[in-house]
Chain A
Amino acid sequence: MTVSQLRDRMTEKVVPEKIMPQNIAEFLMDEDAELPELDAFTFLNRLRALGIGSADFLYLLSGCGAPEEAVEKVRRNPAMNLQSLILTLDGAGLGPQDYTRMLYTARQLWERTVTMRLEKAENSPENSGDSVPENYEDIALEEIEDIAPEKIEDIAPEDIEDNAPEEFGDSAPEEIENIAPENYEDNAPEEIENIAPENYEDNALEEIEDSAPEEIENIAPEEIEDNALEEIEDNAPENYEDSVPENYEDNAPEEIEDNAPEEIEDNAPEEIEDNAPEEIEDNAPEKIEDSAPEESENTAPEETSEFRPVDMELLRQSLIADAEEISGGEAAPESAEAPGTDEDEQTEPQYHKGALITSVAGAAAVFAAAVSVSLMGFAPTEAPDAHFAADSSEIFGAIYSSYNSGIVGADIQPWRGGGTLFGDIIVETDGSLGTFFDDGTLYTAAADGITFAEAGGDSLSAAEVIEPPTDTEFMYVRMSGGALYAVFGGAECGFVRVDNGKVVYTARQDGVLTDFRFDEKTVRIGSVFTLPFAESFSSDRTECFLPSLGTGEKSLIPPENILLSGADGCSYAVSACYSMEDGEVLSSAAALGYPVYSSADGTAFMEDGGEGLLVRVGMTENGLEYTTARMGKPVCAAGGDGVYAAAENTDEGQSVTIYDGGLAPAAVLKNFDRGVTALRFDGKALYISGSDGEFMAADCSDAASPAIFTERKSGVVIGNDALLTEKTADGFEMKLCSLENGKAAVKYSFTKKLTADEAATLETGACGTVFVGSGVYGGAYSWFDGVSVVSEYAVFGGQNREITLFDDKTGFTAAFERDGKLCLVYGGGRISSEIHI
């Protein structure tokens, strides 16, 4: 059966009616359905989606009974940021019911707008060119204001739940339409009294009496001005030009502004009277129709003063002038070709005159890097201001702002294992994590678990497995001081210490593993943690937005250890240092922004708009300090032992910049013959990967003059030796190499001859079967001889022999040294120990 056939059979199952889309709508309207919980964040977000402006917002606040101080605070600070707004609302004691009531009224405003759009759509287009009555927006708002305050107070949340959104369209707009124009026509309380009963239905007569005339009187001039301006802001330029008289913006606000409240009271009715409802319906909706909320959000108020088509030529000349200014009068000419041409060498001397230090056949070349000019080809901007957070609220504010701008997290470059630079060769292992023997226990590490078994006799005891934490996998395992340390990554990252088959502790850190370092007594972990946004924003829960780490239970990184990098984003570059002894967190820090990579020593590479940002947070003698520097936008990055690298896309193609310990560009690798997708450091060796794996290594012992290597071979590196395996046409060869003058020199070799058919089935053993002792070396391999699967272990160096098994169920699975003998594990757990070392 194919996947496709199975898929067809699986999807024959009929989706139950209950969850069909047409029924889901009803389900959501059902009273059992939980309505979205409204907190300040959700409320403000929804207001924003409804296109509610500041004046209406103030009105909603007042109508809801928010404390006057809060309303005044908002009124006096029109530029208040969202965080402050949330704090103000929460601080004013407003709760979900208040938000629900306000949102209900806001929806009425919105519905009114939608109704007008529909009315407009029904009307003939010939009237569309007519001018809009100057007081149109006043009418619309006042109409709603006229009825809304009482409604806000009167509406219980249950009422709102009962009102399905569709109902709004049926009831509210008509209600508003029917009331407003007539009410305002004469503006006399007694007339309103006469009209009210049939129009207001549920509203008490006295409420209307109380509200309508005074409302007009009470409207502060600035409110009217706000409304008028908002209307202007909401208009797209072309609509504005088409529909509004040229002197509209000059006259209307001032007229209103100049009018004392009494004048408004006196004048407005006549104006309204002059503008018959039909005229309003015919003309005004065009404005609204064309002014989507997002347009209004994006239009700065000052733009309303003048609209004109963009003169592209003028703009182009302006940009050229700017470029000249930036580059000190040496900007590229208008017809500048791509960087790398002779012309560019003249315009960017620092970069292109960089001497060619090393040239590598077929791949890349190394250039000196100019500090002052980035690979982007123009002078980078200043790094944004950064500072350590004062408290979690400040961090929350930064996250909130970025989230609302849709800037959450970059594509992270996770840590991946790979080859090892051995002299001038990149030695690629098979990806298994290795076999370790200690004090009678044999550990076999794999991504999904570390198997350990007692290996004291001639067979392994029943194996037990140590699994990585949920939704993670082991990525690197090493033995140090008799204990096993296994680094894991996935949904979170960290490492476990295993002693005598038992987990001593598990150190866990939020984020995707990007780097780790071991030294004698500590383990450092670098990760990038992008907030999952599992909870709604609330100023009461600002700690939810901090990264955490620790041994056993994780705890939050103190806000004062978190750098606000200045780059927008909701993602943290996290780094921490743990004691190997007990897993204690010795230090931790994070930088908030848009990181793609975080090194274990606290150096992060971030995106920042179209540029990049290097950020380092680390403990110094003076406490926690930071450094930032501009760079090109990083595609991927890596940090090593006092040397760093980042790949960037440039006009010339991809390049990799090597940064020294001071984060200054030291060299640039260019002219790659394939795309660079990942970087990794091991010590000072940089590994460069493409879609087909690591294809290049650079020894960055001298960051300004990295040596590049591209030769790759399969094998295992153990200390200063490497056992390399190479398949040939008639078998394969194992070579034991040692380092001599920085190059791999062959010391011993073993050749296995096979027929062509046999060679086609040859498989070399996992790295756990490789043995490199003092003068004794060995490795496993297997092939099919036409009758049986032959598993063989070859020992060479001080002694030469081959141990052969036929149709063994597992073949050789591990090799280790015990009591001066080479022991081989085969047959699913049997141990052979006949080879003296």
Chain B
Amino acid sequence: MDKREYKEISALAANGDTKAFAHLYETIYREMYYTAYYTLADDADAVDVVMRTVKDGFSSVGKLRTEEAFRTFMMKSLCSRIKARLKEYPDGELSSYNGGSVIKREFERLSDSERLVAAMYVAGRFIPSEIAAYAGMSAGAVKKRLKSVLEQFELD
């Protein structure tokens, strides 16, 4: 999506055009869902935080001047909601993943922040600097957690 196209679509969305907003949302919904799902390990919760984030985005799209700003806002908002949701979980209790035994085994042994980083990096395809910006971590902390994740997963 080029700048002009984004500007036009976001202007429509800012004025209440939900289809225009959906067009913007289409560019990032997979990353959002996978980040939420693999961090929270609960499909219903993942859907809920994504939908709440969508509402945030719809309310604020008029202030987001570029597609990058839109992506950043959506992911930051999502990460904040994921963190808040994680705090509601009893310590160490995660629901089961439906993603298969390998993924379940791999993710269950990670800490909350490691799962967030892993989900964003592996499934969301975000690079460390993006993860740092979206998840509110320092670049060093992301790299450290990523290293730990890759070691624990024994990934090549």
Contact = CB atoms under 8 A, between A and B. Distances in A.
Contacts of B141: 447-448, 471, 473, 490
B65 A24 contact: no
A463 interface: no
A49 B122 contact: no
Contacts of B103: 6, 9-10
B155 A50 contact: no
Interface stretch (A32-40, A238-246, A342-350, A572-580): A32-40
A729 interface: no
A21 B26 contact: yes
A1 interface: yes
A18 interface: yes
A19 B47 contact: yes
Sorting the interface of chain A by its residue count into under 10, 10 to 19, 20 to 34 or 35 or more gives 35 or more
8 contacts: A3-B150, A6-B153, A21-B29, A25-B21, A28-B58, A37-B59, A42-B62, A110-B15
Contacts of B100: 9
Contacts of A406: 65
A165 interface: yes
Contacts of B123: 7, 10-11
Interface string A328-343: 0000000000000000
Decide if the interface of chain B is mainly helix, strand, loop or mixed.
helix
Nearest to B73: A533
A491 interface: yes
A164 interface: yes
Interface string A360-373: 00000000000000
B22 A9 contact: no
Centre residue among B16, B17, B62, B99 by max chain A CB count within 10 A: B16
B51 interface: yes
The 8 residue pairs across chains A and B that have the minimum distance between CB atoms? A36-B59, A25-B18, A21-B26, A28-B18, A25-B22, A10-B123, A165-B16, A490-B138
B38 interface: yes
B147 to A, nearest CB: 12
A510 to B, nearest CB: 14
A16 to B, nearest CB: 5
B136 A46 contact: no
Contact of A447 (B34, B59, B106, B140): B140
Contacts of A15: 29-30, 33
A490 B23 CA distance: 34
A95 B138 CA distance: 40
Contacts of A293: 11
Nearest to A106: B15
B85 interface: no
Contacts of B99: 9-10, 12-13
B17 A24 contact: no
Given A1-B156, A406-B65, A21 B22 contact: yes
B43 interface: yes
Interface in B95-126: 98-100, 102-103, 106, 119, 121-123, 125
Nearest to A406: B65
Contacts of A1: 102, 153-156
Given A29-B18, A448-B144, A16 B43 contact: yes
A448 to B, nearest CB: 7
A13 B37 contact: yes
Contact of B21 (A16, A18, A28, A45): A28
Contacts of A28: 18, 21-22, 54-55, 58
B54 A24 contact: yes
B36 to A, nearest CB: 9
Contacts of A677: none
Interface string A401-418: 000001000000000000
Contact of B34 (A3, A10, A29, A49): A10
Contact of A473 (B23, B62, B138): B138
Contacts of B155: 1-3, 6
Given A1-B154, A13-B98, A107 B16 contact: yes
Contacts of B119: 10
B102 to A, nearest CB: 7
Interface string B9-27: 0010011111101110110
